[in-house]
A and B are shown apart, each in its own frame.
Chain A
Amino acid sequence: MSAPHGTLIHVTLNGAHREFTAPPTFAQLIEEMSLAGRRIAVERNGEIVPRSGFATTRLADGDRIEVVVAVGGG
């Protein structure tokens, strides 16, 4: 379901609604979130997006994306 350039896509990012005019790659998304180089993990529609695929995989309309980090916990 990837949209052509210029078409608005809607995604849910960590529970919040986001729109993009051109579907970014995951690398671009992570850069925009100021998380480049950080220890994170990404899930798209319930499936892991491996770090090795960040540069080549693009967001698509309707994606539900989770970006997580490790935090303090028991």
Chain B
Amino acid sequence: MNAPEKVALHDALVVAGREYRSRLLVGTGKYRDFDETRRAIEASGAEIVTVAIRRTNIGQNAGEPNLLDVLPPSRYTILPNTAGCYTAQDAVRTLRLARELLDGRALVKLEVLGDQQSLYPNMPETLAAAKTLAGEGFQVMAYCNDDPILAKQLEELGCVAVMPLASLIGSGMGIVNPWNLQIIIDRVKVPVLVDAGIGTASDAAIAMELGCDGVLMNTAIAKARDPVRMARAMKLAVEAGRDAFLAGRMAKKPYEAAASSPQTGLIEKS
């Protein structure tokens, strides 16, 4: 068997033909300030970080810091999202702006939301946007519900990754339907990443043990009491879950105990 570091080297996450060592993708929202953002993301080991696209303030302060000064695109793969978009058209416009902003880089996170209470994805609009974007040469990582049929359709439309929710965005409720995720993982050939709903490290580990190719999270790190420490916990959880998946867990034996210590050679019973 390979040494652990060798396993890690040969177990890259491949998205749109590019290799990544880290299977943890992180968002950049909800942090106290840019310094905390930078430190948490560094601790997470993430190489792909999501950003939102928003209007500039008119006449903003000339010296106002910019997120991409803290997270330089030369070091991180910046994954612009369409958070806040409720139609395919708005999502497509947002990502065209993002591509211009990022010097033509085409890797994007598509999310088209259905309503403001649940932030549940609007799948008809997501599919329509995915089709347009793929046609324009975008490499689309699509946030979606955990419906295996729709995940497969996103793949067929040319998405480079599908990203089903574990539970509602920002809810921290963990993986509410592992069986659906399992079906998606079994059927979809492009990378499957759990996006949204992770609450703590064990959730991330479970996602990876199911066979997910990666996990994307934001709030679970940013809203922990100590975000930098939680970022590290998530890094370790994703690595542990991935290794457990690759190692292949023991069979479950619900009705049968099996001692690990020798059954013979015990001292005389008193």
Chain A residues at the B interface, C-beta cutoff of 8 Å: 13-16, 32-35, 38-43, 46, 48, 50-51, 66-74
24 contacts between A and B (CB under 8 A): A14-B55, A15-B55, A32-B59, A33-B59, A39-B101, A41-B53, A41-B97, A46-B93, A66-B97, A67-B55, A67-B56, A68-B101, A70-B51, A70-B53, A70-B80, A71-B29, A71-B52, A71-B54, A72-B27, A72-B28, A72-B31, A73-B27, A74-B83, A74-B170
CA distance A58 to B81 in the complex (A): 29
Residue ID in chain A nearest B80 by CB atoms: A70
Query: What count of chain B residues pass the 8 Å CB interface test?
Result: 39
CA distance A13 to B199 in the complex (A): 39
Pick the contact of B30 from A40, A51, A72 — CB < 8 Å? A72
B37 interface hit (Cβ, 8 Å) = yes
Q: Judging by beta carbons under 8 Å apart, are B27 and A69 in contact?
A: no
> Given that A33-B58, A73-B83 are known contacts, is A68 also in contact with B97, CB under 8 Å in the complex?
yes
Nearest Cβ on chain B to A39's Cβ, whole angstroms: 5
Contact of B59 among A15, A34, A72 (CB under 8 A): A34
- Given A43-B96, A66-B97; 18 other pairs, CB 8 A cutoff: A33-B56, A41-B53, A41-B100, A43-B97, A68-B56, A69-B101, A70-B51, A70-B67, A70-B102, A71-B53, A72-B28, A72-B30, A72-B37, A73-B52, A74-B83, A74-B169, A74-B196, A74-B219
Which residues from chain A contact B50 at a C-beta distance below 8 Å? Answer: 73-74
Q: What is the interface of chain B, defined by CB distance below 8 A to chain A?
A: 27-31, 37, 50-56, 58-62, 66-68, 78, 80-81, 83, 93, 96-98, 100-102, 169-170, 196, 216-219
B218–A70 contact, CB under 8 A?
Answer: no
Contacts of B218 in A (CB 8 A): 73-74
A contact residues around B58 at 8 Å (CB) = 13-14, 16, 33
* Contact A68/B93 with A13-B58, A39-B101, A74-B218 known, Cβ cut-off 8 Å: no
Task: Return the 6 tightest CB-CB contacts between A and B, nearest first.
Answer: A73-B52, A74-B27, A74-B218, A41-B101, A41-B100, A72-B28
Contacting residues, chain A, for B52 (C-beta < 8 A): 70-74
Most buried by A among B55, B56, B219: B56
